[in-house]
Structure 1
Amino acid sequence: MGRPRAFDVDEALDRALRLFWRQGYEGTSLSDLTDELGINRPSLYAAFGNKEELFRKALERYVEHHLILYREAFAKPTAREAMEHLLLGLADAQTLPRGPRGCITVQGALVSGEAAAPIQKELAARRLAGEKAIRERLEQGQRDGDVPPHVDCADLARYLNTVTQGMAVQAATGTSREDLRRVARMSLAAWPT
């Protein structure tokens, strides 16, 4: 029977998440991870597997905590209210005073090479899942009568998802919360009638 771990796995995972979020997947080395987590490589491998597995676990943690906003938004009575809640909520969430700014699914893949192709695909799939969720909420709005029947929900979802990703990039580079909220409101001004 092995010795018990001398570190808190959940806290270590949170620290790894913040590091990957700030530096991206490829920008984060194993040395960065062991320094940030305060553990040696054998402990990192034993607890999390390799760097890719640790990134995937961190990404799952991100999804668990940060996609609550999507659920809250999609529970709003109309599709327009749902998208307003989502866009304004993302402007707030991506500019929290503590922690990394932006979105790990966008920043994690902005700069990466061939070695990170599996991670790029994973992040692209996550972004597409977000777009699909938006499209499904818009389609529900269309069935409920609050999205006009002539609207192509796939196109509108792609547009809104592109706005959210652009907001994430802007947040990561220091754009203020209020400026991102203005972007959200401007996007909503184009809501189809």
Structure 2
Amino acid sequence: MSRPREFDVDRALRQSMEVFWTKGFKATSYDDLTRTTQVKKQSLYCVFKNKRELFLKALALYREQNVAMLEELASREVSPLMKLEAICEAALCQNDETISRGCLIVNSTLEFGTDDEEVNREVLLMSNQVERVLEKMIRSCQEQQLITTRLTSKELALHLFNAINGAKVMEKSGASREQITKVLSTAIALMMPEND
């Protein structure tokens, strides 16, 4: 007869995600995870099998949380342009404690490169989902002549997504909030219709 679980699995996963986000996969030890979650190594292994499995679940949780936040912003009753600006603002860390963490998905891409199929699958899922949300908002902006139509909504969504990812790398490398804000505001400004 197996013993009942003695810890909140969802809470432990969220806490583990924070550790991986701060330290990366390779630099995170099981001591880091057990210290943060207050769950014994054997108990974590029973649920998540190993550190890699826990990391992949943490990546999926991070993706789900971020896509849900974007979809919530996209559903607001404001102009599509204001939604895009809100998404750029939300892309920035909101406090000094997390300012140098960047984005867990971007960090994982930089850490693993293209060598890990399962990590790449999460990265690709995140990219596709975010681009789809951005493209829908950009198309709406184009229909209202708020954004240029010289490029397709898909091309502009890729442009903005790239700027957001670049901002996350800048954040991770210690760039100031002012510098990062300028990059994102410039990305939006370049999408504005030309005044002929």
TM-score bin, normalised by smaller chain: 0.7 to 0.9
Distance 1:136 1:69 in 2: 15
The answer to which of 42-51 and 158-167 deviates more is: 42-51
- Is 1:112 matched up with 2:112? yes
- Is the 8 Å Cα contact of residues 34 and 41 (structure 2) preserved in structure 1? yes
* Residue matched to 1:10: 10
User: What corresponds to 2:162 in structure 1?
Assistant: 162
- Greater Cα offset, 113-122 or 124-133: 113-122
Q: Conserved in 1, the CA contact under 8 Å of 2:135 and 2:156?
A: yes
Write out aligned runs for 1:97-136 (5 A): 97-99=96-98, 101-112=101-112, 116-136=116-136
Tell me the matched-pair count.
Answer: 191
Measured in 2, the distance between the counterparts of 1:84 and 1:184 equals: 9
Structure 2 vs 1, CA of residues 108 and 114 (structure 1 numbering), >3 Å: closer, same or farther?
closer
Q: Which has the higher mean CA deviation after the structures are superposed, 95-104 or 169-178?
A: 95-104
What residue in structure 2 maps to residue 84 of structure 1? 85
Q: C-alpha separation between the residues in 2 aligned to 1:136 and 1:155?
A: 12
Alpha carbons of structure 1 residues 115 and 183: separation in structure 2 relative to 1, 3 Å = closer
TM-score (normalised: structure 2)? 0.80
Deviation at 1:107, TM superposition (A): 0.7
**What is the CA-CA distance between 1:35 and the residue it aligns to?**
4.2
Flag structure 1 segments of 5+ consecutive residues without an equivalent: none
Amino acid at match of 1:96: N
Cα displacement (A) at 1:68: 4.2
Which shows bigger deviation, 180-189 or 136-145?
136-145
SS across alignment from 1:121: helix
Runs of 5+ consecutive residues of structure 2 not aligned to the other structure: none
Deviation at 1:60, TM superposition (A): 3.2
Correspondence for 1:96: 95
For residue 63 of structure 1, what is the aligned residue in structure 2?
63
| Structure with larger RCO (C-alpha < 8 A, sep 6+) | 1
> What's the TM-score once normalised by structure 1's chain length?
0.81
Q: Counterparts of 1:97 and 1:3 in 2: how far apart (Å)?
A: 42
Identity of aligned residues (%): 28
Distance 1:179 1:69, change over 3 A: farther
